[in-house]
Chain A
Amino acid sequence: MYEFFMALAKWLQNTWWALDISGSTWAYPFVQLTHFTGLSLWIGTNLSLDLRLLGVGSKRQTAAQLSDALFVWNWTGLGIAILGGFMLFSSAATKYIPNLAFEVKLGILVPLGVLWHILVQWHARRREQADNVTPFGKLAGLIELLLWFSVIIAAVSIPNYDTSH
């Protein structure tokens, strides 16, 4: 399995777009910009909904109303983050594959976070139409909040697990 991912990573790292990114002084920061802009939209809107579910902050809108209001840009943010993340990964794929923090982030936490977010969003839009949030809604919001913090912890730990030097 590891050999398969390594072979895929080697191919990806030698594609024209990956070589363009890694070979340019200016491209890499712009790819990072894409990733962080998407993450700001995705995580910023996720945290706003989770905090509303937890009953923290303004309660002028129900969790269902807030989820509806943020829906389009929430998923647009994830799309932008994935695009930027894929390009960042492509530029140094063989370095990322053996990195434990990266494996935990992308192999476990991100898929789990996205799946949990779908559940949270579905629940908020259908079951949280009153001012007071249900106990399940609060628990779901707290779990999602912790999941995305775990993703950030794994992401900032990637340089500490870098074995390429």
Chain B
Amino acid sequence: MERRELLKLIALATGTAFIGGDLFLSGCKNAPALGGATFSENDIGFLDEVAETIIPKTTTPGAKDAAVGTFMTVMVNDCYDKKDQQTFHEGIKKLDDACQKANNTSFMKATPEQRTSLLTTLDKEAKEHAKSKGKDDPNHYFTMMKQLTLFGFFTSKPGATQVLRHEAVPGHYDGALPYKKGDRAWAE
């Protein structure tokens, strides 16, 4: 079995554990149960914009091209426990409130600069929260949104094939492939 996968997972866990990931890694002992709240089309549009701010379209595709908003809702619905689901749903409103407070406008109406500035602040806040939070304290909603954006984007077809490099059937192994700065990373 792929024990190497284990190593990768643990390496990941040395940063912030992947929320909704393996229970033993996240240390989550809550009895998971599917919660009531669902996502609206507006929510998906909102999450798409959050994701696009985190991973924007540049010369290569961005988060919206990879339908990351929809992906986030699938993951939250299917893979998050009830407590994390609640945090995530409340997070949509909290993020919008924070935008109102900072910019006197909703996130959807905010300019790209306003969005970037807000999410940069929230990212710092979420990182601080992850450092100081107790084991049973809720995760920060922005940690969830960022993790799901990165995960959803880089494992998507545009993310894996147009932004990163992907080879379905490599056929051989080269353990000393020449690399120069700017060459893209492998998707997996």
Are A and B genuine complex partners?
Answer: no
Q: Residues of B with Cβ closer than 8 Å to A?
A: none
Q: Which A residues are closer than 8 A to B by beta carbons? A: none
